Amino acid sequence: MNRLSHPPAHQEVRGSSARAAPTFSPEEQVAPTGDWRRKMSDNIAYALLTYTALQIFVTISALKTHGGSLLPYFALVVLVMAIIPACRRFEARWKQLDDEGAHDPALAPFYKRDRLALWLLAIGLPFALTAIFKGLSLAFA
């Protein structure tokens, strides 16, 4: 392809009202990473909201099936105590980055790994512990 005979993608061709879609060289196709610290902090906030909503839903369901048992309340306390230190560890790992490291694209795989672990914890923990406590209540009933 001769660069002189073809105008850049962002320039309009004379006599044509249609604009060509922009094309980028491989060097220009690097996605902006943003600030890893902020991204992780946002994910932690959303995960805690999701976790809380799921926990309330699961606890209310357990309360309806077990009548007046205190076991679901105990499960709620344990879950709250378990999630907060885990989230603080995730956030502390990313908060210690300096400004240069916070924008380093090489950290993308580590960010994805931590984000996946965070969401698995936030979604899975309410169901897992409630199932354990239900099993214990059936075993000792």
Q: 66, exposed or middle or buried, with CB in 10 Å at 0-12, 13-18, 19+? A: middle
What local confidence, expressed as pLDDT, does residue 139 receive? 87
- Strand, coil or helix: 99: coil
What φ, ψ does residue 3 adopt, rounded to 5°?
Answer: -65, -25
What local confidence, expressed as pLDDT, does residue 19 receive? 54
Residue at token pair 């999701």: 50
With a CB cutoff of 8 Å and minimum separation 6, the contacts of 58 are 126, 127, 130
Whether the pTM exceeds 0.85: the reply is no
Q: Which residues of the chain have pLDDT under 50?
A: 1-13, 16, 24, 26-30
pLDDT in tens, 106-137: 999 999 999 999 999 999 988 887 788 788 87
What local confidence, expressed as pLDDT, does residue 44 receive? 94
- Angle (CA) 48 56 127, round 5°: 80
Rounded CA-CA distance 51/45 in Å is 10
Rounded CA-CA distance 99/108 in Å is 15
Q: How many separate helices (H) and strands (E) can be counted in the chain?
A: 3, 0
Q: Which two tokens mark 23?
A: 């094309």
What local confidence, expressed as pLDDT, does residue 68 receive? 64
What local confidence, expressed as pLDDT, does residue 69 receive? 67
What local confidence, expressed as pLDDT, does residue 78 receive? 74
What local confidence, expressed as pLDDT, does residue 110 receive? 94
Q: Which two tokens mark 95?
A: 């908060």
